[in-house]
Structure 1
Amino acid sequence: MKNILIFLNVILLFLIFGCKGDDDQNQVDTKEYTIRTDSQIKIPSQNSDSFIATIESGNKLVFEYTFDSPSDPQIADSGFSEEIIFEIESDMEEFSLNNESLEDINAFYRATCFCSNIQSVRITEGTISGKKLNATSWEIQIDVKINLDITNIDSTLIERNISNIFMQN
């Protein structure tokens, strides 16, 4: 009986002290809804279907949604992030654009992961709308479909439905 109690105490000690959590496992997905004032979206001038749209100084409002799922050091090829960006004239108070008119606001999607980086993809299907709430925040609805025709052989259609308050940094 004494040997069984010693054995159970040893097992209990292993369970208590041997299973400490790793700080990396406490990583959580993050979403950000940002407005950048005095900015614009830059599209490379070269004639190429493969490019990355960037945000630079300008005279427009740029809206940026970002999602980030951090990589787990214990899992190969983990981690994923994506962004949707678009711009409007800085004096607008409200807007609603759909399908081909999304090109007017330079709406782009981009995803990255450990295994590949996807170029910026122009968003041409769906609706993006917004209403200014005050000097620093907007209520934005994004309901779009993105065609990820990466290989020119198979295309993948993804949908994103986002509704949130975007704030200036």
Structure 2
Amino acid sequence: MRKLAIIPLALIMLNCSGSKSLQESLKSQNPELSCPEDGECTITVEHNKSIATKTDDTGSLYYSTADHKGTDVVIYRYTKQHDPMLADAGLTEEVIFEIDSNSKSLEYKDKAIKQTNMLYHVACFCKGRAGYYKVESGELTYKDNKLNIQLPEILKPQKLKDITITLK
């Protein structure tokens, strides 16, 4: 009889566990990504990592990741479709940020977004545009299995401005 009493208790505890952390949602689900029509978007998560920004000898910004338990680095990447016969036609834009591994909800608005060490990256054959840029304002929210990122205009033209990631 005692064994039968444990089963309902276990079911109640599972149902009361609350919402999943962003890390758990990204790991266990196939997210729906908003993406400009002329390209493909992906999202990757580097677990137990943090962002270390650096500057090279020319003054250009770049980053590396360092081991950091309890922090994850999220990379949202847009790659424009282009004719492979055109060597210099490629364009990739990325939004890179770090969050607490156990975040069940997030809300960073305006200058608070700096806490995520968010970077915007452009890789292209486009003089004066390619490189990494610190995101100084904008919005990043995670609630009800939806991750929303709104970026200010950092460069012209910029494909990634309003990103929605729905986790089922």
Q: Which runs of 5+ in 2 are unaligned?
A: 1-37
Counterpart among 65, 71, 77 of residue 66 in structure 1: 77
Aligned to 2:61: 51
Letter of the 2:50 partner, please give it.
Answer: Q
Letter of the 2:84 partner, please give it.
Answer: P
Q: Superposition RMSD on alpha carbons, in Å?
A: 2.9
* CA–CA separation in structure 1 for the residues paired with 2:92 and 2:135: 17
Larger Rg: 1
* CA–CA separation in structure 1 for the residues paired with 2:140 and 2:121: 16
Aligned to 2:140: 128
Runs of 4 or more off by more than 6 Å in structure 1?
45-48
The 3 A distance-change label for structure 1 pair 39 and 83 is same
1:143 Cα deviation after fit: 1.0
The 3 A distance-change label for structure 1 pair 42 and 77 is same
The alignment-based identity, stated in percent, is: 21
Matched residue of 2:161: which SS? strand
The 3 A distance-change label for structure 1 pair 40 and 145 is same
Number of aligned residues = 128
Counterpart among 123, 143, 150 of residue 143 in structure 1: 150
TM-score (norm 1): 0.63
Aligned to 1:118: 130
* CA–CA separation in structure 2 for the residues paired with 1:166 and 1:62: 17
Q: Which moved more, 1:120-129 or 1:67-76?
A: 67-76
Structure with the higher fraction of residues in strand conformation:
1
* CA–CA separation in structure 2 for the residues paired with 1:80 and 1:46: 23
* CA–CA separation in structure 2 for the residues paired with 1:132 and 1:37: 22
The 3 A distance-change label for structure 1 pair 42 and 90 is same
Q: Which residues in structure 2 correspond to 1:1-169 (within 5 Å)?
A: 29-44=39-54, 50-59=60-69, 60-75=71-86, 77-116=88-127, 118-131=130-143, 133=145, 139-148=146-155, 156=156, 158=158, 160-165=161-166
TM-score (norm 2): 0.63
